[in-house]
């Protein structure tokens, strides 16, 4: 894709680097950008070519500052409600991130605010530069954030952090974001890209069926609690992985003290 596209892709081996490419507006989420991201993730899911995705924002000022407020100001309240609801463009994109079969790593540089922070939280792993800032500003804007979005924060970081984020509407430093459970790694700005890509390269060395089954199991168990442990889908994935060629290869490689060669079978 060309640099003037709102979303760009780069492929390295089995890693796809997805860039929100609206740096002049803090990579704000327009309806067009959300649609492109949803379509891209759906296409990558069908092609089964990428075993890890890295999501980042163009430039160094922002991962994503949230929704495109100029677009929202030009819309009617009913249009904005539909846009932000989980059946709208934002919800479709977050669902596409949730349902992408392989791990997605968010590379956070600069601001991750509002829906941009939820997008990062929807990813499986978050790596942030030390200078990054996180926050949830709906109370500054006179907006009540969609309940499904609040529920994501309650599941992932708990009610205490969720209250702190939403009710203060403050900007928090990356170090504070890590302490709050919003970020997994905080590294110096100059190494965040190398660190994130090295992490992605590690991930694609793991067994593909394991990655798919573990991500899906974690998602179901997080949403539904212990009762999901007997879900037929999880049972099927566990059984299929145990009898797979990759499981045989993984056990043999461990016994022989060598690096396994996984084929996703």
Nearest CA to 8 among 45, 30, 42, 33?
33
Contact indicator for 113, 136 with CB cutoff of 8 Å: yes
pTM higher than 0.85, yes or no? yes
How far apart, in whole angstroms, are the C-alpha atoms of residue 113 and residue 141?
13
Residue/partner pairs of 36-45 with CB below 8 Å, 24 or more apart: 36/5, 36/6, 36/7, 37/7, 37/93, 37/96, 38/89, 38/92, 38/93, 38/96, 40/7, 40/9, 41/93, 41/96, 41/97, 41/100, 42/96, 44/16, 44/100, 45/96, 45/99, 45/100, 45/101
pLDDT tens, position by position, 152-188: 999 999 999 999 999 999 999 999 999 999 999 999 9
Which residues in the chain show pLDDT less than 70?
Answer: 1-4, 86
What is the model's pLDDT at position 1?
39
What is the model's pLDDT at position 2?
40
What is the model's pLDDT at position 229?
83
The CA radius of gyration of the chain, in Å to the nearest whole number, is 19
Q: What angle do CA 34, 3, 18 make, to 5 degrees?
A: 45
Q: In what order do the strands lie in the sheet with 172-173?
A: 62-64, 111-113, 133-135, 172-173
What is the model's pLDDT at position 38?
96
How far apart, in whole angstroms, are the C-alpha atoms of residue 162 and residue 180?
9
The H or E element spanning position 156 is helix 147-168
Tally of CB atoms within 10 A around 230: 8
What distance separates the 2 farthest-apart alpha carbons in the chain? 64
DSSP 173-205: EHHHHHHTTS-SEEE-GGGHHHHHHHHHHHHTT
Q: What angle do CA 26, 31, 34 make, to 5 degrees?
A: 75
What is the model's pLDDT at position 251?
82
DSSP state, 67? B
How far apart, in whole angstroms, are the C-alpha atoms of residue 96 and residue 237?
21
The H or E element spanning position 150 is helix 147-168
Q: How many residues does the chain have?
A: 265
How far apart, in whole angstroms, are the C-alpha atoms of residue 113 and residue 149?
13
């Amino acid at each position: 894709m060309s640099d003037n596209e709102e979303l760009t892709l780069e492929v390295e081996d089995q890693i796809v680097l997805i860039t929100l490419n609206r740096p002049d507006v803090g990579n704000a989420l327009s309806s067009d950008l959300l649609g492109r991201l949803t379509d891209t993730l759906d296409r990558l899911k069908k092609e089964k070519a990428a075993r890890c995705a890295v999501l980042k924002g163009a430039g160094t000022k922002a991962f994503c500052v949230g929704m495109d407020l100029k677009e929202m100001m030009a819309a009617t309240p009913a249009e904005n409600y539909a846009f932000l609801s989980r059946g709208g463009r934002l919800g479709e994109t977050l669902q596409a991130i949730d349902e992408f079969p392989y791990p997605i790593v968010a590379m956070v540089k600069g601001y991750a605010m509002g829906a941009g922070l939820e997008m990062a939280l929807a990813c499986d792993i978050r790596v942030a530069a030390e200078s990054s800032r996180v926050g949830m500003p709906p109370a500054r804007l006179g907006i009540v954030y969609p309940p499904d979005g609040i529920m994501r924060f309650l599941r992932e970081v708990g009610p205490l952090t969720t209250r702190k984020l939403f009710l203060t509407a403050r900007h928090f430093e990356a170090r504070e974001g890590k302490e709050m459970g919003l970020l997994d790694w905080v590294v110096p700005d100059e190494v965040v890209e190398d660190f994130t890509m090295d992490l992605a390269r590690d991930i694609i060395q793991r067994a593909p069926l394991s990655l798919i089954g573990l991500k899906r199991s974690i998602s179901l168990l997080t949403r539904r609690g212990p009762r999901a442990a007997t879900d037929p889908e999880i049972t099927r994935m566990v059984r299929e992985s145990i009898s797979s060629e990759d499981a045989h290869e993984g056990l043999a490689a461990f016994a022989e003290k060598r690096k396994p060669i996984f084929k996703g079978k």
